[in-house]
Amino acid sequence: MADLLEWLARQLVDDPDAVRVDEVEREDGTVLQLYVAPDDRGKVIGRSGRIARALRTVVRASSVRSRRRVVLEIVE
């Protein structure tokens, strides 16, 4: 899942080398923390949060097989 998220984010931003995804395990599920360059944060969030919502939907859909809750956080 982290690889898919990283690939999608790299396609959206101007500085793909700054994209990083950290996977944090918690007792209630997994948190994917997406780091991008400050100038690219708006591109990942999108107008009214549409792109961020779409990325969260893709992450949630890809986590169905593992039966674990996966949450996406866009970190500054």
Whether the Cβ atoms of residue 18 and residue 75 lie closer than 8 Å to each other: no
Can you give the pLDDT at residue 68?
Answer: 84
Q: Which among 36, 48, 31, 38 is positioned nearest to 12, based on CA atoms?
A: 36
Residue 23 pLDDT grade (very low, low, confident, very high; cuts 50, 70, 90): very high
Q: What pairs with residue 74 in β-bridges?
A: 34
Over 80: is that where the pLDDT of 76 sits?
A: no
Residue ranges per structural domain of the chain: 2-75
> Global pTM?
0.88
- Round to whole Å and give the CA distance between 52 and 27: 24
Report domain 2-75's class: alpha beta
- Round to whole Å and give the CA distance between 36 and 52: 13
Residue 17 pLDDT grade (very low, low, confident, very high; cuts 50, 70, 90): very high
